[in-house]
Structure 1
Amino acid sequence: MSPAEPAGSEPRITRAWVLHPDISSDRERRASGPALEEAVALAGALPGLEVAGAEIVPLARPRAGYLFGSGKIDELKERLTEAEVELVLIDGPVSPVQQRNLEKAWKVKILDRTGLILEIFADRARTREGVLQVELAALSYQRTRLVRAWTHLERQRGGLGFVGGPGETQIEADRRAIDEAITRIRRQLSKVVKTRDLHRAARRKVPFPIVALVGYTNAGKSTLFNRLTGAEVLAKDMLFATLDPTMRAVALPTGLKVILSDTVGFISDLPTQLVAAFRATLEEVLEADLILHVRDIAHPDSEAQAEDVRAILADLGVARETPQIEVWNKTDLLDPDRRAAVEAAAARHDGVEAISAWTGQGIEPLLAAVTGLLDETRQRRELHLDHGDGRRRAWLYDQGVVEGEAPDDDGSTLTVNWTARQEQRFRSL
């Protein structure tokens, strides 16, 4: 709490206005209506903001100094002043020069798409690694700007300070200082990554298959994760609700245990530096034995969103041979005729399951599909373990492959029904 906010006072709300520049050359790639809706949803994901208005601004080409033409700038200034707007969110890239000029012309703070996403990342990150990744991305972004900090949002939530505010530490207006901070954070991050690698190595010694949930942000991944695990992971109708991967063990109907990983949602036009900064967050996807690509099938841009996810997976280097199931989620939001058509279409395609994570419809067939891809042909074997083999014996029971056990003088004989992969992993213990 800052000195400006006395105890018991209500958090101050910032009135924001969302602008989506509709650039002619981009129109075929990205429809303006859904893009504006997504930008408004992004703004709504940040606490302390009230969206006072939103509009599409047609642009033949961006103006170098001001982005918009002088007539449009004057027209927008009138609306922003009348609505008492303090923050304008521009859904696209804004150069440092454009940002300074627009702030001077409108007397408001400007955040472009990257800056807004950084704010959301800072608000959502929970683990030490996630926080460091946000700091690194924020400093790299701010290094080219070095604009005077403004808003109260930071002190309201105790964040990083790359937007800043009175009473908060300001990012130094010196690039050398920022470079030193970046070097320090990278050093800290390398230590965190080493710790994570140790944890991953330890998990490989008890090697369950990894099933990674991926998808466009707000596709329902966390709701599906909760449905499958019973975990109380944040699941809101909010973009970027999950940033740090959450992992839980799940037992499939055959008894095979898998590790389910919930990951950050993807989004169109995510700047390259942000994808790189969060690469470690998505590393569980790179090691996954199976990927569940969760889609909001009720969204009008569902196919375009799916293409964005596929493109980012390819950029991350996800192996083509990694099995994937496309999960068409939120069928409960469709009218009966549309739902029947979607379910019929899913049934005609291999590797597609239509579900509602909210109601549970279609979950059993989805689990059967997961089992079919991970639970290979089993063979029955007899193993003799001596009394000192407690760890390997516990591993077999944890895998759910023991059908019977007969004690004898120097240990016991176990009847196991396992896959070739489980046998190989057992031999490596």
Structure 2
Amino acid sequence: MTQSPPDHQLPKSTFGDLLTGLMLPPHHHPQSLLVLADWLEEHDDHRSEVIRLSCHEDADTPAVAVKIHHWLHAHSQSFQDYPWWPFEPTMDQGKLKVQSNPSVLQRWLTQGVYPLLPTIWMLVNRDHHDDLAEIFSTVAKRGDLHLGLSLVENHPNLHALLTQPVNPLRRLHLGSLQLSRDNHAAWMTAMPHLEHLQYSWMHSLSDLHVSAWRQLQHLHRLEIIGCPNLADDAFRAFAELPHLRSLRLNSCHGLTDLGMPGILEIHGLEHLDLSDVRNLTAQGLLNLPRLRALTSLRLGWATEGGVRLLRRISQMTHLRTLSLHHWAGPLPVWFFEELAKWPQLKFVDLCGCPQLSDDAVLALCRSQSLQSLDLANCRGLTDETLRGLESTPTLEWLDTQNCSAMSSRGRQRLRRALPAITLLTARQRR
């Protein structure tokens, strides 16, 4: 048996439970990359935001693949020095590919070669259900591993498997499934230790399902994406999840201002994503500063912004991450002057903001902590922005793709000023 290397020989920032997440097809699925983002976030590594942003976009575009590849490249060689390294990230025609040994998961489970894997994450399709039962049994017997599943289609044996007495599941992603209220309630009851739950594009999910969430007293991360039949009554149920730390609601158009009080009652909430919630207005967001534990806020595609809301956001000085991508309204200079004063600000996403100006970014350049900045598709920005960023020594990652008014000379000058920076340019987008 190939021995794993001692823990102290591994780089500080490792892939953690991403390893097995990439072992089952499809290898380049965004869900696997989100496992990496989760792991980094748990270790207070701001690069989780870069990867999470990539997964929210089209994960097959070269631009997104390059974002991931830059991070992988920095650490992959250290891992590949070891014989047990199961895959190698490569770029193929602009897409991220991962080559893997199909038997490695079973070998790791049976021989114990998994020194850094707190969670085994599997994306399961119809072909994997027989293997899934065996893996469930193995993980349940060991007791020192957690199991995460991503289920995207129904299967006759699925209900029996998920409701068995010994259920090792800690993470569950349900995508595009037809799920009855009774089955959903049975699943939640059988998963008392569930920590991370995601629903995506499930039209069958409605207010009738949410009462089952009361069973999940250990749930700390909940993501609901593209589930249009959830209304305000469902969102008010969030207050019954005492340990919830991360909440993502994307394209949930049933949420209105009437549902926000339930969210504002989650006093321990650290990460909140309300991107593309079309029926949520600025009025409903004015009390966001009440979430004093919040460190990450995303308000992408906001249909209503306004100076009043920006003034409230500027009071949230404890934030580390702020995303206002595709903010349609004005972004005044004074707002970025306030952001620059935030002592812990690490990542700002301003991708696709049509009214973002050079002067606004220059004000942000005064930040003493900013490490990652996304300015992609901000066509009003010029080399003046790049010159200002030259004096931001903490900056490690910058996206200037499709900033057509920026010149190659300006980017070269920035690279000379900040030689360690990862700079994405227009040439990396198809």
**Normalised TM-score (structure 2):** 0.30
The higher-RCO structure (CA 8 Å, 6+ apart) is 1
**Normalised TM-score (structure 1):** 0.30
- Structure with greater proportional strand content: 1
Structure whose alpha-carbon radius of gyration is higher: 1
